Amino acid sequence: MEHQYPDHRVDGRRTYCVTGATGYVGSWLVKSLLEKGHAVNAAVRNLGSCDRLLTLWGGGDRLKLFRADLHEEGSFDDAVHGCHGVFHVAASMDAIVNQLTDDDRDVEAKVIKPSINGVLNILGSCLRSSSVKRVVFTSSISTMTARNEEEEWLPVVDESCRIPIDVVWNKKSSGWVYALSKRLTEDAAFQFAKENDIQLVSIITTTTAGPFLTLTVPLSIRVLLSPITGQSELLSVLSAVNSRMGSIALVHTEDICNAHLYLMEHDQAQGRYICCTNSCTLSELVHHFAKVYPSPNSQRVVEPEKVSVPTEISSKKLKDLGFRYKYSLQEIIHQTVDSCINYGFLPPIKTERK
């Protein structure tokens, strides 16, 4: 039996559900929504992991916590109940670094199918709710490529430049499991949304950096800082991104969260949107780091650039919709380093910034 729920909108304020609320982007998105006056149903796998975040989030009675698991059918029903929209941010980035095996069947069974079933589980809950008007799906730049079918570099990467599934399977480059999982999960989400008349918008996140609320340093930041820390396993991931995309695209924590809400609320939003403040090559990134945080590791880890003219990772579609970024590439790098020094991940170094 279907129930009619109120819009929950008062003076422009609505109730939204955020999955993966304890993750890097998810936790900041909850904070951002509460600061804007919205009510939030935060869906998490482990309620015990929220104690510290509850203090940072605030929100009072506008914040409600729900235990929900991507692998348990119907477990998101209560979390989306009465919500105007759902932000599906939950995803595991472990597959970027922790390759389970090169056995295709193992990858499909342990990573891809659970990821697809997870998003269909959430969309099923949205379908059963008469209140949800739109779902914003958090995708990844890992689903994109800067090369055409002839392996030639593209001058501009836009939303149409999706990495071919067969290329991912065959090449198995660093991070291929995560890329394949996100690509196939996004495909399944759009197919389900089309068949069931659900408004679905996908936001393609680039390397997200800046401040964070999580108890540990987010993986995307550890990957970004690998030229400083010299962690070879993470550096191989960053190098693979640079090799595949021709540059490394960045976006600030606050900007990616603002873009999520912008795409949720804009009537004309549809399809996929790249969210990228700017991009730079790996050598340029190391140069930026050298000015902010000099490190002997920086010069040792730079690989020869693969592109004479860096590929532009275009956010034109999102900008044409009216979205504006708050933070520059230099500000992202500065704030990321500062946050990691304050956290204790990077030792403090006295240096005069240029």
Token pair recorded at residue 121: 């589980």
Catalytic residues: 182
Do 181 and 95 contact (CB within 8 A), yes or no? yes
Distances (CA, A) of 86 to 5, 30, 253: 15, 12, 19
| Cα 329 to Cα 288: distance, rounded to the nearest angstrom | 9
Mind spelling out the 3-state secondary structure of 17-65? EEECCCCHHHHHHHHHHHHCCCEEEEEECCHHHHHHHHHHHCCHHHEEE
| Cα 135 to Cα 200: distance, rounded to the nearest angstrom | 5
| Cα 299 to Cα 289: distance, rounded to the nearest angstrom | 10
- Tokens 């991009």 identify what position? 279
How many Cβ atoms are within 10 Å of 124's Cβ, its own excluded? Answer: 18
Distances (CA, A) of 112 to 95, 109, 176, 223, 308: 10, 6, 12, 23, 35
Exposed e or buried b for every residue in 323-350, given b needs 16+ CB within 10 A? bebebebeebbbbbbebbeeeebbeeee
